Structure 1
Amino acid sequence: MNALEIKDLNVWFGEGAARTDAVKHVSFDVAEGESFGLVGESGSGKSTVLRAIAGLVPTWNGEMRVMGEPLGVARTPKFYKTVQMVFQDPYASLHPRQTVDRVLSEVLGLHGFKDIDARIDKLLRDVGLGPGFRFRYPHQLSGGQRQRVAIARALAPEPRVLLLDEPTSALDVSVQAEILNLLAELRAEHGLTYIMVSHDLGVVGHLCGRIAVMQTGEVVELLGVEKMRALQAEHPYTRHLLESSIGAVR
């Protein structure tokens, strides 16, 4: 079964003469349990695709399905129990005046869970943080710890699909590998499906089995990560990306 099906997706901003077409005729499928990457340079439309799936961009047409269910303009509570998103900047995505406990409690309560204390403890353990972090504020955490809290928040509703928007790009290089390894472990443990956006082919090669390469809003090539590592790309733009990152993807 496919966790995600995208067919002929178009996303735009503005109207009339001011309209900008950010995503054009994008199609791809992601199997349940797969980790799929969207790569490309800044402005290629990869994050816009992710935001359209999440319901953060209302101006789109085409077809999108999650677990076989078609998506409309509005997202339902059922959707947000199935799909969650981890954003690029963990500090900006966490409320500066809310403790970790408050952040996680609100999400769990919103989704109707009752055993909130036990669930918070488990979520913190799952992301490699102990109970001592529960009542800290974001400014008391390192960048890597904040991203672990953001991942815990995304896991709180017990989703089946995680949308990962450059989840390590705002972190120090020394911390990036830790977060990628954590994401790999969580995917294996919980049977999650990942759709990950990154400009870093090394990051994508670490976590994903297949990638879609985007340029100026279009998917120019779909290929497996083994072909990516072997530099066996067909499209000139993909070859350019691989050659520019030749040390990172091997």
Structure 2
Amino acid sequence: MSTSISIENLNVYFGEHHDLFQAVKNASLSVEQGASFGLVGESGSGKSTILKAITGLAPQWDGHMAIEGADLTHKRDRTFYKTVQMVFQDPYASLHPRHSVDQVLTETLHLHGFDDINNRINKLLLDVGLGPAFRFRYPHQLSGGQRQRVAIARALAPEPDILLLDEPTSALDVSVQAEILNLLSDLRSEHGLTYLMVSHDLAVVAHMCERVAVMQNGEIVEIIDVADMRAGKTTQDYTASLLHASANRVA
């Protein structure tokens, strides 16, 4: 099976000169096509920074990154964004408050050169469990879960191969989180998607992913299969402490 995401010896920096901070240190991982791979760790461990480096939102980096065999430079072109899309943590912040669902999806489809936009929008809304009745609503008329479904529809609009998921349920009510996670699992199966998912919640990652990289202070300290994680088979004390902290939820 081919590799969708390849990262080798990645370093990511913020600031400059005396204020330079290294957020990611010598990180390496690979994600096979169609797989779901998790990045876990405490807040500030660097996991979301890796997603930002991939998308170009963290431009100060060195090392090697490749998407479907194509090396990434410090610029991202339209081809990249047709292949890779990101779903952000906060559905309240990621949608323009004055743009209807129709405007959000129309703009994205136009940007990526699609026609037959009317039918595409209706299909996208059906795919994420909303349906055409939501098409002309505005964000303030939607619940948090519904907003995140719109954000997922927007990410699916360019027909990407890879979704980067940055804590996609952490801003939602617990009752809604499982619905969104199950939706993402279904979409991955239906569309043959590859996921790279950031979470601080090991239970979420255990539900969604096959392999997990554990991050601490900007470094990947361990890459572990979810089956081993569930069984408590870890080589690192830090991973063991994370597992112990969430022992009641990783099952």
Task: Classify the TM-score, shorter chain.
Answer: over 0.9
Looking at structure 2, the residues matched to 25 and 248 of structure 1 have their Cα atoms a distance apart, in angstroms, of 31
Deviation of the 1:201 alpha carbon: 0.3
Query: Are 2:45 and 1:44 aligned?
Result: yes
| Pairing of 1:187-198 with structure 2 (within 5 A) | 187-198=188-199
The 3-state SS of whatever aligns with 2:124 is helix
Aligned match of 2:79: 78
Deviation of the 1:14 alpha carbon: 1.2
Deviation of the 1:54 alpha carbon: 0.8
Looking at structure 1, the residues matched to 73 and 180 of structure 2 have their Cα atoms a distance apart, in angstroms, of 33
Deviation of the 1:163 alpha carbon: 0.2
Query: Are 2:64 and 1:58 aligned?
Result: no
Aligned match of 1:230: 231
Aligned match of 1:89: 90
State the AA in 1 paired with 2:157.
Answer: A
Instruction: State percent identity of aligned pairs.
Output: 67
The 3-state SS of whatever aligns with 2:241 is helix
Deviation of the 1:162 alpha carbon: 0.1
The alignment's TM-score, normalised by the length of structure 1, stands at 1.00
Deviation of the 1:17 alpha carbon: 1.5
Deviation of the 1:16 alpha carbon: 1.9
Where has structure 1 moved over 3 Å in runs of 4 or more? none
Aligned match of 1:168: 169
Aligned match of 1:120: 121
Aligned match of 1:200: 201
Deviation of the 1:188 alpha carbon: 0.2
Aligned match of 1:131: 132
The alignment's TM-score, normalised by the length of structure 2, stands at 0.99
The 3-state SS of whatever aligns with 2:81 is helix
Deviation of the 1:138 alpha carbon: 0.3
Aligned match of 2:103: 102
State the AA in 1 paired with 2:202.
Answer: L
The 3-state SS of whatever aligns with 1:96 is coil
Deviation of the 1:119 alpha carbon: 0.2
Looking at structure 1, the residues matched to 17 and 135 of structure 2 have their Cα atoms a distance apart, in angstroms, of 49
Question: For residues 26-80 of structure 1, what are the alpha-carbon distances to aligned partners after superposition, in whole Å with 9 as ceiling and x for unaligned?
Answer: 0000000000000000000000001100111110000000000000111010000
State the AA in 2 paired with 1:49.
Answer: I
Query: Are 2:30 and 1:4 aligned?
Result: no
Aligned match of 1:31: 32
Aligned match of 2:160: 159
State the AA in 1 paired with 2:205.
Answer: V
Root-mean-square deviation (Å): 0.4
State the AA in 2 paired with 1:183.
Answer: L
| Pairing of 1:179-194 with structure 2 (within 5 A) | 179-194=180-195
